[in-house]
Amino acid sequence: MSNDKGRFGQFGGQYIPETLMNEVLRLEKEYDRYSKDLEFQRELTGLLNNYAGRPSLLYFAEKMTRDLGGAKVYLKREDLNHTGSHKINNVLGQALLAKKMGKTRVIAETGAGQHGVATATAAALLGLECEIFMGKEDTERQALNVFRMRLLGAEVHTVTSGTMVLKDAVNETMREWTRRVDDTHYIIGTVMGPHPFPAMVRDFQSVIGKEARKQILNAEGKLPKAVVACVGGGSNAIGSFHAFLGDGDVRLIGCEAAGKGIGTGKHAATITTGEVGVFHGMKSYFNQDCEGQIAPVYSISAGLDYPGIGPEHAFLHEVGRAEYVAITDEEAVSAFEYIARTEGIIAAIESSHAIAYAVKLAPEYEKDDSIIVCVSGRGDKDVAAIARYRGVDIHE
């Protein structure tokens, strides 16, 4: 019989070393208490509104809409948040909670560096010590963000174990948490890990969809045909989807990284090609071999370069409530360039996976329909990598 606490159907759970169990159980209890605490909610809303710049715009991309010739395209502009991505929503929530729990130090993994920067920012603001773990390959792909984190007072550890990317950064951060759990909170950056993380991070990110739902009803007087978001671990997607879960006619579409193509094996498309497994504290879908070894994954986007997906996404996929599609590097880079030229927005390469799918989707609908695309982050960090992809050598 499986433990049904913190489950989304068969997915989720608390598959972690005994050393962390009491801490995770305490976190569960404290989160439950503070999520119902009006003073905590007021403080968090204050930070989100007055520090992070919420609510974020729901921007009508008129030129893009005209060009695609179908549904009106609305962009949920998480890129305009302080620190440049949706990551700040979750980080402010967890950092505030950590402080209430009496923690003096926070640690976090980062892939693209967005979550690391957001964590370092919140730590600076709230007076917490901060250490970030980042795969060696990512510290090279995202050198600017490494320096940004250091500017904010964080210590950045280069992870050289395993494949030296996001999954290995998670491994190392978990190991560090087991070494020093008494004064330290692990701010997991996405809707993964042991319960309560997937539910807690979802709650902190669900502000995206709550705002968007109100904004689209104001603008259009009706719900959109679809909500589209990119999926690595899946935090901006679950945040975008959650307010629409009960709206059965609204399609929820997550865009995974197909890298160099599903057929090449060089991708990070977990739902498309993964199998159910247990890893990083949760039961979910993972890219793995037939004996359960976690497979190396690849994406041009460091933020989507992860072999798993949050358990709630696995559940939404299994019950058919959400759809998951795979977008290649080439499609994402083209979308990155397209939205820059068309709308004057430099979107993160992660978000560009969602934009790429929206470009295909919009023409399928009528002119008085709408779709919402989450622009989860801004793309300044990706400019050098895109240049390299196109064969232009620039120095950051």
Partner 1 sequence: MSKISDAFLKEKAFIAFVTGGDPTLDMTVELVVGMAEAGADIVEIGIPFSDPIAEGEVIQRANLRALDAGASVVGIFDAVRRIRKRTRVPIVFLTYLNPVFRYGYDEFFAECADAGVDGIIVPDAPFEEQGEFKPFARKHGVDVISLISPTSEGRIAKIAAEADGYIYLVSSMGVTGVRSSISADVPGIVASVRRASNAPVAVGFGISTPEQACGISRVADGVIVGSAIVKIVEEHGEDSLAPVKDYVRTMKRALSKGI
* By the rule CB under 8 A, 389 interacts with partner 1: no
Q: Which of 191, 157, 320, 323 is nearest to 256 (CA)?
A: 323
Residues 227-256, buried b or exposed e (16+ Cβ, 10 A)?
Answer: bbbbbbbbbbbbbbbbbbbeeeebbbbbbb
Instruction: Give the interface size with partner 1 as a residue count (CB under 8 A).
Output: 40
* By the rule CB under 8 A, 17 interacts with partner 1: yes
* By the rule CB under 8 A, 162 interacts with partner 1: yes
With respect to partner 1, which residue has the nearer C-beta, 96 or 282? 282
* By the rule CB under 8 A, 3 interacts with partner 1: yes
Structure token pair of residue 221: 């007087």
* By the rule CB under 8 A, 174 interacts with partner 1: yes
With respect to partner 1, which residue has the nearer C-beta, 155 or 275? 275
Q: Is the bond preceding residue 194 a cis peptide, omega within 30 degrees? A: no
Binding segment for partner 1 (CB under 8 A), chosen from 105-113, 167-175, 319-327, 382-390, is 167-175
* By the rule CB under 8 A, 161 interacts with partner 1: yes
* By the rule CB under 8 A, 277 interacts with partner 1: yes
Amino acid at 124: A
- Interface residue with partner 1, options 150, 179, 341, 388 (CB under 8 A): 179
CA angle 44-49-51, nearest 5°?
Answer: 85
* By the rule CB under 8 A, 284 interacts with partner 1: no
87 is catalytic: yes
109, 256, 331, 343: the active-site residue = 109
Neighbours of 341 (CB within 10 A): 10
With respect to partner 1, which residue has the nearer C-beta, 174 or 269? 174
Amino acid at 251: R
Q: Where are the alpha helices (DSSP H) in the chain?
A: 18-35, 38-50, 62-68, 87-100, 114-126, 136-141, 143-151, 166-179, 197-205, 207-220, 235-241, 270-273, 311-318, 329-343, 349-361, 383-389
- Interface residue with partner 1, options 87, 115, 141, 167 (CB under 8 A): 167
C-beta of residue 64 within 8 angstroms of C-beta of residue 342 = yes
* By the rule CB under 8 A, 41 interacts with partner 1: no
Dist CA 9 CA 321 (whole Å): 13
Dist CA 10 CA 276 (whole Å): 10
Closest separation in Å from C-beta 114 to partner 1:
23
Closest separation in Å from C-beta 13 to partner 1:
6
Q: Which residues contact 335 (CB under 8 A, 6 or more apart)?
A: 347, 352, 353, 355, 356, 359
Closest separation in Å from C-beta 178 to partner 1:
5
28, 56, 72, 87: the active-site residue = 87
The percent helix, strand, coil of the chain (3-state, each to 5) is 50, 20, 30
376 is catalytic: yes
* By the rule CB under 8 A, 217 interacts with partner 1: no
Binding segment for partner 1 (CB under 8 A), chosen from 177-185, 231-239, 358-366, 383-391, is 177-185
* By the rule CB under 8 A, 185 interacts with partner 1: no
Starting at the edge strand found earlier in the chain, the sheet holding 129-135 runs 155-159, 129-135, 105-110, 184-186
* By the rule CB under 8 A, 5 interacts with partner 1: yes
Binding mask 286-325 for partner 1 (x = CB under 8 A): x-x-xxxxx-------------------------------
Catalytic residues: 87, 109, 376
Binding site residues, partner 1, CB under 8 A:
1-3, 5, 13-23, 161-162, 167-168, 171, 174-175, 178-181, 275-281, 286, 288, 290-294
